[in-house]
Amino acid sequence: MVMKDSPSGDRPRRIGLMLASIHTGTSNDLWPELARTASADGAAFFVFPVGRLKWPTEGEYLRNDLISLVNRRNIDGLISWASSLGGHVPLTELSDVHDAFDIPYVTIGMKKTGHPNVEFDAYTGVRSAVMHCIKVHGAQRIAFIRGPESHVSAQDRYRAYLDALALAGIGLDPALVSPPFAWSRGGDALDVLAGERALVPGKDFDALVCASDLLLYGAGRRLESMGVRIPQDLILIGFNDSQESRLLQVPCTTVRMPISDLGMAAWNAIMRQISEVTGASQDIMLPVDLVLRHSCGCEAADVFGPAGRGGERQPLMKRIGELFSLSEAGKRKLEIVWDAIEKAALLDDKEGGKEADMSAFRGFGEFLYSLISSGAAGAGTGLLYEALDRLCLGSPDIPRVRRYVEKRLYPLVSQVQDRIHNQHTYELGQTARHLNALKVDLLRVRSLSVIPQLLASHLPALGITGAYLVLSDDAGYPRLSGGYDASGLIGQGHAFSREDLLPREIMERLGAGVYVVEALHVDRQSLGYLVIRTTAWDGSLLEELRASLSSAINGALLVDDANRAREKAEQAERIRTEFLASVGDGLKEPLEGIRKIVQESGTASSPAGIGILNHISRAGYLMDLAMSRTGSMEMERRLINPGIWLTETCGRLGYGLTAPERTPMILADVRRLSQVCEIIGTEIIADGHGCMLSCAVHRSGLAISLASDSGGWRARVFENSPGLALAERIILLHGGEFSIGENSVSLNLPWPTLSGASPTSSSGTAVVLGPCPENGGYPPWADIHVIDASNVSSGNLLSVDAGLLIWDASDAVPASFSALRRLGEEPRFSALGFMAYGLASGGQSLMESVESLSGDMSVGSVFLYGDVPTELRQVFQHLETIILSSPSDFVSRAPMKPPLILLSDRLAAYDAEVIRRQVIGGDVPILLYKSVIDEAVVKAFGEMPGLIFCDDVLARCEAFHVRLKAAMSGAAPILPALTGIIVKRAMAYLQAHAAEHVSRWQVAEAVNVSEDYLTRIFRRETGLSPWDYLIRCRISRAVRLLRTSGMTISEVAFRTGFQDQAYFCRVFKKIMGDPPGRMRGH
């Protein structure tokens, strides 16, 4: 005898089961039976619900992909419920699928030469059902609902119906036979009979036999809705004895498939195939039983027939075993229990009677619990009572035993039923609760990476002790996306062979147990599969899990696709921006070198020299223009005094200037505005004229005009030059207006607003925020309205239709700042143009400069516990600083010195909470300095109200300094704690991922808010956008590497998240003031 290969090492046998589904019809009964057998044998049992072959609806054909996993790399042998896979394709195609297997296999319901076939005698079963209708109930017009045409057993059942009619001498009426239908379409089949063919149930046919209980259930529901009474009007019989036969209003007579025997026979057959010689196979044909219930008109007594009527115990025990699907051990247990019952009944009040009663009661209760909980008593309580009554007939004292049974055991049946029902209801509720919790979490999934953690959190409560998620990568190869088992969470793995169920290293460690492989698909798209190790053999539960997980994965993939597309777009834009910036920076130096050579050679005034210089200027304009159109032109807008700027620029360039004595502040990039003036002036001078610049204050903004001093310059001749195109672009980027007249070029730069947005229309009254100086100094407009700042700060907003705000900071009083804050909070005022006189230049926004000025007027003390960087101390150098020795020192000194802010680098979370709760209110900020912000710091301090984080990046940032002053003065309140923690978490995320490529959506998703919202609150908290903060984090790290390592500048750039050295150098110089090379050794 030649043995087949044994499993390597000590691993258990791996047996597969291939079937169409695990959650419908008899499938839901068969695979748990095999799972119990496999568990008892210590095998690894893999269930592959592969769907019906090429079944077109509901994406079932997508499950067929699992068939390729049924091979010798994954299992040692296969049980194939071949007949369940048919219904849509020819039997030859189903046969071809099995011919491709490279492992021993056993079929159920379809014979393959050389392989054992296990099946039940469906033909005899249906014939007996039809003959029962004819002989016992006198039926003459029997209708039949057929199963799928390509299903072998369905055809056997139809053939049995035809032969039974012929045997009874009843002619075939084709109108009584439905066309072939899928197992789940019993309702549609009845519609053909009662609808299309207009047959009346109970009149045109007196019995209906269905090829399966699934068909019976669909047809029965339709009959119930039509008001047809079963069995009074119509006999109804099915096949399989699956749960569907017991779901109608009347329990249905059916042909019972020997599921337990079928599973055991198939299991034994495949184990013999694996272990013994390859050769002739022995097929197994299992008998079936007709289970009589009320749908055919039989009463319970008819179910037992003559068994036990004469007191014979053995025939009765055999019949009870058949009716309740008892195993041999179950039959022996029943005999032992019945002997105990008879003994207890006969002893009654005699000696030992109490003990006998307790033993009988307990034994019968255990037997009953096992019987009902297994589902074997599904035919109804009446059958149990009838079985007990028949058993009494064989007792030596029938009246006494019957009284005992009725008194002691009948009530116990109801009690056990109630107990099992309540337990089942509780378990269903718990299962539903756990499954719903998983579904809720899956609905929130936006990234595949979180799914394994969710599965590990929820599935163990459902009896699923391991799960492995496998999805296809971009090349079509399976890749482990994560999972969990007894060893813990499993991270994403590498791609592996399409023939393997799981990566080999995981496959080799799978032990004995039941594994279900569920195909994941949605919307006709295959996603992959899930392998689960489960002790919950509930097909409906696993199918619900499969559907929910498929939907979640599909949603996450859509989000991933959108994110990848957005990331590609961002990357393309970044590459284009960095390319243009690099090209621009790379060309400027050689162009300037050429310009210098021409000027130093003495040929600058020659025609050739003038031509070269013009080409150099033109090239520079074109590069800047290209950068401006891609959004990569650097614009560093600051608050400036245009009168001072124009005076300096015109003096440097030799232009004439006409301007008012005082001008309001504007928000502009001085270098770029100077470039505009120089471009236009160069065109005027090159045309042989002198350049004259005039400036005027208008309601809409600052008006600047450039023309020749003689008025003879023809501006329109030059309107297509690249220089004027660049000048126009710069003005438009300032939110201004640019126009070319006949003899001049006009610019209009808008006034800034309190909100920082572009100003709205300037129509309406010009409002001056007083007090108003005696000499005025404002434009002589007729509709100027003066209001007192103290009235606005106290809450009395403007009643006039304001179109413009005017204020002189040199005459400010404390009430002015409160009034400005109040106006800034009102949308109808915060977007108005604001003519501000007397503010210091340099602020990034109008409100920042106002807050800085208000901060300088603050009264109070700065408390310092520990040490903070010098740059932070300088922010408060004009204020009294009190050095603390401990947190308790602050508690004792704060009441005597009003605190403006508490600075510390070593404050513990507990001390901060005590200080906040007992000493200072939430409006006094606490600044906690840490060189690096990480998750631990956020966890300890993040939810504390009124607390601001500061790291090395923010400590050296001027915008953050202004933010501190505003918080200290109350000009810009600190974010609420629940909003502030979002910013703090974003800071920690950016610090942790600074060296990586980080997209905007990734940061927003990490803190669960939108990109726009994060940008707004981040700027309010720190004075910077998240992206400015990220750049500064990278530069800060670059400084450390340059000072402490021997890396090249290129290596430092790539190590800190920059993809281009030239771009890194440009950003570095902008932030640090010096190029990277000068940081060496500092």
For residues 438 and 448, what is the distance between their CA atoms, to the nearest angstrom? 15
Q: What is the pLDDT of residue 577?
A: 61
Q: Are 637 and 668 in contact (CB under 8 A)?
A: yes
Angle at 478 between CA 472 and CA 480, to 5 degrees: 100
What's the pLDDT band for 858 if we cut at 50, 70, 90? low
Tens digit of each residue's pLDDT (9 = 90 or more) over 1043-1059:
888 888 888 988 898 87
Phi, psi of 684 (to 5 degrees): -65, -45
b/e sequence 311-335, b meaning 16+ C-beta within 10 Å: eebeebbebbeebbbbeeebeebbe
Tens digit of each residue's pLDDT (9 = 90 or more) over 900-930:
889 999 999 888 888 887 777 656 889 999 9
Tens digit of each residue's pLDDT (9 = 90 or more) over 239-252:
988 878 888 888 89
Nearest residue to 904 via CA among 875, 862, 860: 862
For residues 106 and 277, what is the distance between their CA atoms, to the nearest angstrom? 14
Burial status of residue 527 (CB atoms within 10 A of its CB: 0-12, 13-18, 19 or more): buried
Burial status of residue 507 (CB atoms within 10 A of its CB: 0-12, 13-18, 19 or more): middle
For residues 864 and 881, what is the distance between their CA atoms, to the nearest angstrom? 7
Q: Are 901 and 862 in contact (CB under 8 A)?
A: yes
What's the pLDDT band for 760 if we cut at 50, 70, 90? confident
DSSP 86: -
Nearest residue to 469 via CA among 486, 485, 487, 445: 485
CA 148 to each of CA 55, 130, 469: distance values in angstroms, whole numbers, following the listed order: 12, 20, 34
Mapped onto helix, strand or coil, the DSSP state of residue 724 is: helix
Question: What tokens does 107 get?
Answer: 């079929």
What's the pLDDT band for 391 if we cut at 50, 70, 90? confident
Tens digit of each residue's pLDDT (9 = 90 or more) over 591-645:
666 767 766 677 666 777 666 766 677 777 777 777 666 666 777 888 999 999 9
pLDDT, average across residues 416-423: 80
User: Residue type for 755, please?
Assistant: S
DSSP 877: T
Q: What is the pLDDT of residue 37?
A: 92
Tens digit of each residue's pLDDT (9 = 90 or more) over 944-983:
888 999 999 999 888 888 888 777 766 667 888 889 999 9
Q: Answer with the residue of higher pLDDT: 496 or 281.
A: 496
Q: Is the peptide bond before 231 cis (omega within 30 degrees of 0)?
A: yes
Q: Are 434 and 458 in contact (CB under 8 A)?
A: yes
Question: What tokens does 646 get?
Answer: 């124009």
Q: What is the pLDDT of residue 300?
A: 47
Secondary structure element (H or E) that encloses residue 439, with its range = helix 410-443
For residues 974 and 1020, what is the distance between their CA atoms, to the nearest angstrom? 8
Question: What tokens does 1009 get?
Answer: 């808010």
pLDDT at 563 over 80: no
pLDDT at 3 over 60: no
**Strand 638-640 vs strand 666-668: parallel, antiparallel, or unpaired?**
antiparallel
CA 616 to each of CA 473, 579, 613, 672, 673: distance values in angstroms, whole numbers, following the listed order: 51, 20, 5, 18, 20
Q: Are 88 and 64 in contact (CB under 8 A)?
A: no
Q: What is the pLDDT of residue 1?
A: 28
Q: Answer with the residue of higher pLDDT: 770 or 477.
A: 477
Supply the Cα-derived Rg of the chain in whole angstroms.
Answer: 44
Q: What is the pLDDT of residue 280?
A: 45
DSSP 692: E
pLDDT at 135 over 90: yes
Nearest residue to 1042 via CA among 1033, 1034, 1052: 1052
Q: Look up the pTM and report it.
A: 0.56
pLDDT, average across residues 307-311: 69
Q: What is the pLDDT of residue 574?
A: 64
Q: Are 753 and 790 in contact (CB under 8 A)?
A: no
How would DSSP label each residue in 157-223? HHHHHHHHHHHTTPPP-GGGBPPP--TT-HHHHHHIIIIIS---BTTTBSEEEESSHHHHHHHHHHH
Q: What is the pLDDT of residue 854?
A: 64
b/e sequence 903-926, b meaning 16+ C-beta within 10 Å: bbbebebebbeebbeebbeeebbb
Question: What tokens does 819 get?
Answer: 């009034």
Q: What is the mean pLDDT of the chain?
A: 84
156-170, 374-388, 866-880: lowest mean pLDDT where? 374-388
Q: Please, what are the domains in the chain?
A: 119-256+279-295 (3.40.50.2300), 300-418 (no CATH), 638-750 (3.30.565.10), 765-851 (no CATH), 858-1024 (3.40.50.2300)
pLDDT at 466 over 90: yes
Angle at 288 between CA 285 and CA 289, to 5 degrees: 160
Alpha carbon 967 to its chain's center? 38
Question: What tokens does 814 get?
Answer: 């404390």
Tens digit of each residue's pLDDT (9 = 90 or more) over 38-49:
999 999 999 999
Q: What is the pLDDT of residue 762?
A: 64
List beta partners, residue 903: 864, 927
925-928, Cβ contacts within 8 angstroms, sequence gap of 24 or more: 925/901, 925/964, 925/967, 925/968, 925/974, 926/901, 926/902, 927/868, 927/872, 927/901, 927/902, 927/903, 927/964, 928/904
Q: What is the pLDDT of residue 273?
A: 86
Sole residue written with tokens 């032109």: 633
Q: What is the pLDDT of residue 1002?
A: 84
For residues 935 and 991, what is the distance between their CA atoms, to the nearest angstrom? 10
Question: What tokens does 260 get?
Answer: 């337990």
